[in-house]
Every structure is written in C-alpha cells, then in structure tokens.
Amino acid sequence: MSSIEIRLSGSGGQGLILAGIILAEAAILDGKNSVQSQSYGPEARGGSSKAEIIISDEYITYPKVLKPDILLTLAPSAYLWYKNDMKENGIIIIDESIIPNDEDAQKVIRLPIIKTAQEVIGRAFVANIISLGVIAELTNVVTKESLERAVLNRVPPGTEEINKRALTEGYNLVKMRGSEIWQKQMI
C-alpha cells in the first residue's frame, strides 16, 4: 500500500468528521501514517459535511484528498457532488436511501447503513460507526482490532456496547452481500 485516499460525506450532524478522526487514529494504531481534514459550511447541522483521510506507509506531503480510492456517502447531494471525482476503479459506497443514476447503478455499493442504525441498533447516530465497519470489512484499509480500539477511545462513556454492535453490523452488511459486491468490483 502506498497511499489510500478516503472521503466520507453527508450532512452535518451525521458524525462523519468523528468517523474520519477514528479511521485516521485506527491507521496510527496499525503503525501507519495518516492525516485527516474536513470541510463544512458555517452551519453546525444540516449543511453538507466532508471528512477526508489519507493513510500511507510514508510521510504524507500533500494533506488533502485529490482523487479518492474510497467514497462513502450518506446524503444524496453529497453523492451527486463527489461521485465523478474518483480514482479509476475507486469504490463508491452509498446509503440505500440514495438512488443512483442508471449508469452508476451497476458499480456503486448500496447498503442500508442509516436503516440498520435506526432499526437494528435503534440509534440513528451510530450510522457513522456502521460506515466504518463497512469500510473495514470491504477494504481492509485498517485492521478490525485497531478500528475497534480507535472507536472505543473516542465514543462517549456508556455507549461502548452500542458502538461495538454498530461495527459488527457494518461488517455483516458487507458479508451478507459478499458475492454481489465482489461481482460489482469486477465490472
């Protein structure tokens, strides 16, 4: 692995900047180098929000993401905004609530991230942690051990169990759809 660029995008309040911080910290626990940056509008909630992470074995000279290897998005506007800005063969993961264009439908990986947070865990706010589980299971960009430690280092006391479950649900979302996802990546 030389350098992997990851972009997490959605609306403000979905916790994707925290997810970006956790992912960067998990990479450090794996002994890798990482940087994390973000952009957001002036409003605290509801505006568009973007967290970017670069993970590398070497010093990261340019600190911002240029062409992501991985894009995960939980909001339709963010999907339209960023989908054409990918590295060739980059992986796009979108929430089930987003309807992809016909030409993209074959290659995007569409998973019920928000629904799983709401209905399986019963807490909408863990959609960000489920997202991290999805990324780890799908790409191995960080180890599951480091990811779990990084999550537990950052989440508020008393929410450890819920967040651990959220990670597992994230892994499972990918495992359950394994063959379908594998086929998409071949396209």
Partner 1 sequence: MMPTVLMQGNEAVVEGAINAGLKFYAGYPITPSTEIAELCAEKLPFVGGKFIQMEDEIASMAAVIGASLTGLKAMTATSGPGFSLKQENIGFAAMAEIPCVIVDVQRMGPSTGMPTSPAQGDVMQSRWGTHGDHPIIVLSPSSVKEAYYITIQAFNLSEKYRTPVILLMDEVIGHLREAVNLDEYKDVEIFERPMPQDKENYLPYQYIENGVAPLAPFGKGFRFHVTGLAHNEKGLPTNDPKVTEKLIKRLIGKIENNKKDIVMFEEKDTEGGDILLISFGSSARACEAAMQELKKEGIKVGLFKPITIWPFPDKKLREIYPRFKKVFVVEMNTGQLYYEVDRIIKGNTYVGKINKFNGEFFTPFDIVEKIKESF
Which residues in this chain contact partner 1 in the complex, by CB under 8 A?
A: 21, 24-25, 27-28, 32-42, 60-64, 66
In whole angstroms, give the CA distance from residue 175 to residue 160.
23
Quote the least distance from Cβ 79 to partner 1, whole Å: 21
What is the DSSP code (8-state) at residue 100?
A: -
Of 135 and 173, which has the nearer Cβ to partner 1? 135
Tokens, residue 43: 């409003």
Write down the least CB distance from residue 98 to partner 1, Å. Answer: 25
- In this structure, the number of other CB atoms found within 10 A of the CB of residue 66 comes to 10
6 neighbors 116 (Cβ within 8 angstroms): no
Residue 5 or 95: which CB sits closer to partner 1? 5
Q: Which of 24, 31, 13, 37 is nearest to 154 (CA)?
A: 24
Task: For the CB of residue 14, give the shortest distance to partner 1 in the complex, in Å.
Answer: 18
Q: How far is the CB of 66 from partner 1 (least distance, A)?
A: 6
Which residues lie across from 37 on neighbouring strands? 52
Beta carbon nearer to partner 1, 11 or 118 = 11
